[in-house]
Structure 1
C-alpha cells in the first residue's frame, strides 16, 4: 500500500487528492509545520535530505517531488487515468499545463511572497518586475479557464491537480485577490464540487477551509 508523508498546508495535498480521485488505498502520515518558522519538522528531514513534502513510500521505493509522484502513481497504480495519451488532440496542452504549475505559477508566487516579506519599497525593481510577472501568469490562467472548463480542455486531468494548490492553499502564505478573475473563481467552484477533492482536503487538512473564491 502507498504511504503518503503529508505536510499540512503544503503541495502534498496534491497526492492525497490524486489518490482519492483514483480511488486508491493509501496510508496517510501527517506532519505539521513549526508554528514559528512555518517550516517542515525534523521528522521530514530525517526521511528525505531536503526535508520537504510530499514524499511517498511504495514498498522499497521512496520518492519525493509532487510532479514526479503524480506521474508515478498514475502510471503504476492508476492505469494511466487522469492523463492524456500522445494520440489525444489535447495531449500537448495537457503537458504544458501539467508542468506550468511548478514551472511558472508556483515559482512566481514564491518569489512574490519572499520579496514581500523582505519589506522592500513598493517601487523596488525586483518587486515590481515580479508583480508584473505574476500578473502575466494569472492573466494567462484566467484566459485559459475562460476557454475551457479544465486546464487540459474538456476533461479533468492531473494538470488540474497540479495547479489548484497554487490558486488555493498557497494563498495562506501569499494572499491574492481574485475578484477581477471571474474564470479562475468559477473554476475553483467547480473543483470544490468534486467529491474526491473534498475528501482529500478533509483527510489531509481537516483544519483548513479551502480558499475557493
Structure 2
C-alpha cells in the first residue's frame, strides 16, 4: 500500500514528515499551498478529508487526520526495531515514560497550541483593515487580552516544559517518544511568536529545540516540506 502525506506548507504536518524520516518509511509527499490572502488551506484538502485541513495521510484505503492520531497510527503500523534508537517511541504501558508521553501528547495541542493560536490572532487584529479611529481601540483591547490571559497561559506551559527538560534530553527521558514529535511544532510556534526574550527565559526548551533540529531526519523533513513556521 502506498503512503501519501498531504502536506500543507507551514503547518503541523511537518512533524509527520519528521517521524516518517526517522522511521525510514517510504512515502509520497503531496504539497498544498496556502491561500495567498487568507493563509488558509486550499479547498482541495476537503477532497481528502472532510475537515479540509492538514496533516492528513492516506494509506491504501485508510485516511487518518489529526497529528496525534497520525503519529500513533504510524507508530503502530511501522513499529521501530525493539533494540534500535527509536525503541522508546511508544513507551511500555504502566511505566512513568508512558504516562509522560501521554501527558505531553495532550499538552502540545490542548494546553499550548490553543493559546499560541490565540496569540497569533490578537497580534494580528490591529493590523487588519479598519476605520482609523478604531485602530487604537483594537490595539489596546488586543494588548490587554494578551497581557492578562494569553501570555500568562503560554508562560505557564513553557515554564513546566522548561523545568521538565532541565535534566532529560527528551520529554519522556533518554529516548525520543511520540510526544517529542507532537510537541515540536508547538515549541517552534511559541518561541517564534515570543521572540528572543522567550527563548532566553527558557534555556532548556531552546536546547531541546536545537537537539531535534540537529537530527538528520528532521533536516530531511525540512528539506522536503519546508519550514514549519512562516519566516523561519
Aligned length: 210
Q: After TM superposition, give the deviation of residue 89 of structure 1 in Å.
A: 3.6
Q: After TM superposition, give the deviation of residue 141 of structure 1 in Å.
A: 1.2
1:128 corresponds to which residue? Answer: 148
Q: How does 1:1-213 map to 2 (within 5 A)?
A: 1-79=2-80, 81=87, 82-119=89-126, 120-121=139-140, 123-125=143-145, 127-168=147-188, 174-177=193-196, 178-205=199-226
- CA distance in 2 between counterparts of 1:176 and 1:51 reads 31
**Contact 1:55–1:62 at 8 Å: present in 2 too?**
yes
In the superposition, the TM-score normalised over structure 2's length comes to 0.82
Give every structure 1 segment of 4 or more consecutive aligned residues whose post-TM-superposition deviation is greater than 6 Å: 206-210
| Deviation string, structure 1 residues 160-203 (Cα, Å, up to 9, x no partner) | 1000111225666x353312211111111111221111111111
SS of equivalent to 1:164: helix
Q: After TM superposition, give the deviation of residue 129 of structure 1 in Å.
A: 1.2
Could you say if the C-alpha distance between residues 170 and 58 of structure 1 is closer, same or farther in structure 2, counting changes exceeding 3 Å?
A: farther
Q: Which structure has greater helix proportion?
A: 2
SS of equivalent to 2:210: helix
**Contact 2:56–2:65 at 8 Å: present in 1 too?**
yes
Q: After TM superposition, give the deviation of residue 37 of structure 1 in Å.
A: 1.0
Structure 2: gaps of 5 or more residues: 127-138
Could you say if the C-alpha distance between residues 103 and 128 of structure 1 is closer, same or farther in structure 2, counting changes exceeding 3 Å?
A: same
Structure 1: gaps of 5 or more residues: none
Answer with 1 or 2: which has the greater Rg.
Answer: 2
